[in-house]
Structure 1
Amino acid sequence: MENEETVSRSEKNTRASQSNNHSNKKKNRWLVPVVGLLICLSLVFTVGLFYFQSHFFVTAKANGVDIGFLSVKDAKKKLEDLNKSEPVIIKSNGKEETIELPEKYEITEEYLKQSIGNHSIKLPINEDYKTELQNKLGALAFEEGTPSQDAKIEKVDGVYQIVPEQIGTTVDKEALINQVLKDVDDNKGTYVYDVKDFYQKPGVTKDDKGLQDKLAILSKKENKSITLDINGEKLTLTKEELQSFMNESGDVDQNKVYAWVEQTNQKYGSIFKPIVFTNVHGVTTKYKNNGSYGWDINMPQTRDLIVQAINSDKETEAITVPIDGDVTQSTTVNKDYVEIDLNDQKMYFFKDGVKVVETDVITGRYNKGTATVPGFHTILYKDTDTKLEGEMLDGSEYSVPVKYWMPLKSYGGVVTQIGIHDADYKAEYFGNKEAYKTNFGSNGCINTPGEAVAQIFNGAYAGMPVIIYGHIYDDAPGEFDKPVDYGEPA
């Protein structure tokens, strides 16, 4: 039994030894190729490391150009195609202008050597190329052409409309230069341009929303119903008048509105209408208004009201026009007034249509320069215990104290320094119709007995009419230096 067990162990050891030998042989067979491969890879790496010290990597690109495996010298040669001269062709009216592109990039072996380990290389730009190109393009000359016209709003056949834009033939040189520079920067490769594509474009087209909005505003404003009440008279603004107030932007021009109000004032205001007067002799005459009797439109306030009405959101507006002056003063003078008859050297004072005073007077000395001038006047103001001073035509000066003084305002709003005042120191000459031809004639004032002028002074007021008529100065020497109105038959 022991021998059998010993034999069995021996056989097992023998088999195990044979198996180990077989395994070792297998390992040796794989080891040799692996070692060889590693040696080869090491050689390749070493060679590659040395190679790519002077050549670019496989995936290397410069400005998008493949330069993998190339040496610095070969890469420079290939990249020089980027600086290949390309013509820029500008077409204008059948003619062509050609500009050669300057070199865009600075391509040097030194720069490439510094970048040899990079996969993506950006070449440095030639700093002068863009300036040089701009200068060449800027030197181009084009025909002047016609400028483009913006779309605008105009009144056509009484209606506001948008007039479309007009394309001109003026070249937008800046836009052309910018486009060329952009294309060159992007390496477009083809640089052909027709100036027709660069005509200056209108700033505003017919589809512009702002223009459309303005047209809508104009349409709304011109179709408004605006009625004015001018001292009881109704006046409705017409569409044409509303249009005349506005500019193309739909804004109201205040100056145009004021001009219209001014014209309307001339038509409606009573201060611009003639005065009708019947004197004590029954003669009816029409005189020019001196501009202060009656009423007129307050023009600044009326202008502002009209502007506000046009700009409001309401479709209908009613305006009560503000009035300056006395609306009760009629253009027919027959109630309160002073009447002076130069021919008879008489003065009359009427209150509420009733004659209160009739008195002799002495008027201006017989010379047109010192005449008491005919026409329609009003009392400017009243004053008492004052002194009248001035100079006569002969150069002599006068200084006259008076108790009652009522200066007159004449045609055109002229303050003539002529007025009504007391002159009792001439008492003995009142009633002498020729006294005005002597040195007792005044410097234009109406000299009056104190008692009579006191009555007039007490009943008169600023703005009261004073009508002067007569022809005694027609043949007098000199020239009238104040407004004269003889009136005309009414």
Structure 2
Amino acid sequence: MENEETVSRSSKNTRVPQNKNHSNKKRWLVPVVGLLICFSLVFTGGLFYFQSHFFITAKANGVDISLLNVKDAKNKLEELNKAESVVIKVNGKEEKIELPKKYEITEDYLKQNIGDRSIKLPINEDYKVELKNKLNALTFEEGTPSQDARIEKVDGTYQILPEQVGTVVDKEALMNQVLKDVDANKGGYVYDVKEFYQKPTVTKDDKGLQEKLTLLSKKENKAITLDINGEKLTITKEELQSFMDTAGNVDPNKVYAWVEQTNQKYGSIYKPIIFKNVHGVTTKYKNNGSYGWDINMPQTRDLLVQAINSDKDTETITVPIDGDVTQSSTVDKDYVEIDLNDQKMYFFKGGVKVVETDVITGRYNKGTATVPGFHTILYKDTDTKLEGEMLDGSKYSVPVKYWMPLKSFGGVVTQIGIHDADYKAEYFGNKEAYKTNFGSNGCINTPGAAVAQIFNGSYAGMPVIVYGHIYDSAPGEFDKPVDYGEPV
């Protein structure tokens, strides 16, 4: 009995735990199944809900439309198309421009994008065109243009003058800013045209302008000296400035013009001739432009431009010279002297009279006169024939052994010269012969022996001074340059 009872209790004890586990499982199973059912219902409901509503983080053009349905979202987004104005302030007055409708907001479009979290609304196609047209229709006063910073000479020195802001409205910049702000929905579209005045393109701090000023300063302060046939001429700061523009570029034409003026001042061919005749009378004549020397202007210009543009701060230029630097403005060594009044010619060599001879000069008419003034021998020729026409239309053709044509004032080749005329031998010494048909067509007719001496001792460029007043009352007009000279 005891054993049976023991077994019975043992069996009973064994079954009780099994019933407890089964009970626990049932207890947990009910809530889990319920939770799953809830999740399923929520998920199903969510799917259904978000088919007509936007997601929690949804935005359209930055506007929060989360959990809104299409209709409510559309109503909220219409705020983007609310009536706004662009205000343009001009000299205390205001110009208003009503903004056109910017976005095309439709329920259909929102439905198509209801599942998106970031929606970009379509732009009204005519919006920008309308706005641009309205802005473009604005008119502003002409205003004063802005001035760029620039280099100018002030008190003799190059300086940078600062830029100046004018009052001309940069309409394009204003329009671009308005369009940009409206595109970004910035709001508060108020603009003062003063903020959109056209800006100078070059300011006083411009690097290029500073470099030009440095270059100008270097060039205008150069020490350039010209050695003109032994005379020293230092170019002044003002002269250097006159050669350049404000960018430091040297103008060769301006340099040449300066060299030309300098040449007239220093070149001996521009200086008057001082001459003392056999009668002891000293007279000043105009140089014919070929006696003496002058500056080679093209070469000097090039050397000067090169010196200004060089890196050297100091430079001396030896000026190239054309002509004979030994020819003095005072003629007292080698020359031919012709006295019209006495119908005489003298030849001096080394200051010593070598030849004195009678001559017959031009026929008594200003159109055939031997003209007074300073001349030079153009060239020398032998055994040639002189041909031409007299005032009466008659032709002449005269063979000569010696021929020395003259160059007159202004470089004029007169066709007048010195030559032999032995066929007039019996009339040499007759001071009135020039008034007869034995007078020449302007040439100085000379006995052969005398002209041979002059020919052999003379040279091209030798001075020939002609003086006298025998043609003062002659008929006609002089057809060659005449210079009676000035007493000294």
Equivalent-residue separation in structure 1 for 2:8 and 2:456 (angstroms): 172
Partner of 1:169 in structure 2? 167
Q: Distance in 1 between matches of 2:3 and 2:388?
A: 174
Identify the residue that residue 300 of structure 1 maps to in structure 2.
298
**Which deviates the most, 264-273 or 452-461?**
452-461
Q: Determine the C-alpha separation between the residues in 2 that align with 1:475 and 1:189.
A: 101
Deviations 1:113-161 (A, max 9, x none): 3322221112222333223222222221111222222333333333333
Residues 471/88 of structure 1: CA separation in 2 closer, same or farther (3 Å cut): same
Match for 1:219 among 204, 217, 242? 217
1:280 to 278, 281, 290: 278
Q: 1:411: how far off?
A: 1.0
Q: Distance in 2 between matches of 1:297 and 1:56?
A: 95
Bigger mean CA offset, 122-131 vs 58-67: 122-131
User: Number of paired residues?
Assistant: 488
Q: 2:429 aligns with which of 425, 428, 431?
A: 431
Cα 1:135–1:427, aligned 2, differ >3 Å: closer, same or farther?
farther
Identify the range of structure 1 (358-367 vs 141-150) with the bigger mean alpha-carbon deviation. Answer: 358-367
Tell me by how many angstroms 1:327 deviates: 0.8
2:185 is paired with a residue whose SS is: coil
The amino acid across from 1:207 in the alignment is D
The reply on whether 1:263 has 2:261 as its aligned counterpart is yes
Give TM-score, length-normalised by structure 1. Answer: 0.90
Distance of aligned partners of 1:362 and 1:97 in 2 relative to their CA distance in 1, 3 Å threshold:
same
| Unmatched segments (≥5 aa) in structure 2 | none
Partner of residue 310 from structure 1, selected from 308, 311, 314:
308
| CA separation of 1:23 and 1:436: change in aligned 2, threshold 3 A | farther
Letter in 1 for 2:473: D
Matches of 1:335 and 1:6, distance apart in 2: 180
Q: Distance between the aligned counterparts of 2:247 and 2:153, measured in 1?
A: 12
- Which residue is 2:288 aligned to? 290
Is the alpha carbon distance of 1:372 and 1:19 closer, same or farther for their aligned partners in structure 2, counting shifts above 3 Å?
farther
Amino acid of the residue matched to residue 28 of structure 1? K
Identify the residue that residue 403 of structure 2 maps to in structure 1. 405
**Percent of pairs identical after alignment?**
84
**1:244 pairs with 2:242:** yes
Tell me which residue corresponds to 1:469. Answer: 467
Whole-Å separation in 1 of the counterparts to 2:322 and 2:341: 36
For structure 1, list consecutive stretches of 5 or more residues without a partner in the other structure.
Answer: none
Partners of 2:187 and 2:27 lie apart in 1 by 61
SS of residue paired to 2:278: coil
Equivalent position of 2:17 in the other structure: 19
Please identify, of 155-164 and 188-197, the stretch whose mean Cα deviation from structure 2 is larger.
155-164
SS for the counterpart of 1:24 is helix
Partner of 1:381: 379
Change (3 A) 1:52 1:277: same
Q: Deviations over 1:305-356 (max 9, x none)?
A: 3333333333332222222211100001111112222222222222222223
Matches within 5 A, 1:90-169: 90-169=88-167
Question: How much does 1:486 deviate?
Answer: 0.5
CA distance in 2, matches of 1:4, 1:71: 80
Q: 1:79 aligns with which of 73, 77, 80?
A: 77
Look up the equivalent residue of 2:278 and give its one-letter code: V
Once residues 398 and 430 of structure 2 are traced to their aligned partners in structure 1, the CA distance between those partners, rounded to angstroms, is 21
Deviations 1:3-37 (A, max 9, x none): 99999888777655543443233223222332333
SS for the counterpart of 2:304 is helix
1-structure distance, mates of 2:102, 2:230: 84
Task: Select the residue among 34, 37, 40 that pairs with 2:38.
Answer: 40
Paired with 2:459 and 2:100, the residues of 1 have a C-alpha distance of 95
1:442 to 440, 443, 447: 440
- What SS class does the counterpart of residue 367 from structure 2 fall into? helix
Question: After TM superposition, what 4+ stretches of structure 1 lie above 6 angstroms from structure 2?
Answer: 3-13
Q: Secondary structure at the match of 1:90?
A: strand
CA distance in 2, matches of 1:385, 1:111: 115
State the distance in 2 between where 1:436 and 1:31 align: 160
Superposition RMSD in Å = 2.7
Query: Residue by residue, what CA displacement relative to the aligned partner does 1:25-66 show, whole Å, maximum 9, x if unpaired?
Result: 322322233233333333333333233333322222111111
Deviation at 1:178, TM superposition (A): 1.9
1:164-243 aligned at under 5 Å gives the runs: 164-243=162-241
Question: Out of 474, 477, 480, which is 1:479 matched to?
Answer: 477
Task: Report Cα offsets for 1:441-470 as digits up to 9, x if no partner.
Answer: 333222334443333233222211111111
Paired with 1:236 and 1:44, the residues of 2 have a C-alpha distance of 103
| Alignment counterpart, residue 392 of structure 1, candidates 374, 390, 393 | 390
- Which residue of the partner structure matches residue 335 of structure 1? 333
Deviation at 1:102, TM superposition (A): 1.8
Q: 1:236 to 1:17 in 2, by over 3 A?
A: same
Q: CA deviation at 1:177?
A: 1.7
Question: Structure 1: how far apart are the matches of 2:317 and 2:256?
Answer: 15
Aligned equivalents of 1:175, 1:405: Cα separation in 2: 84
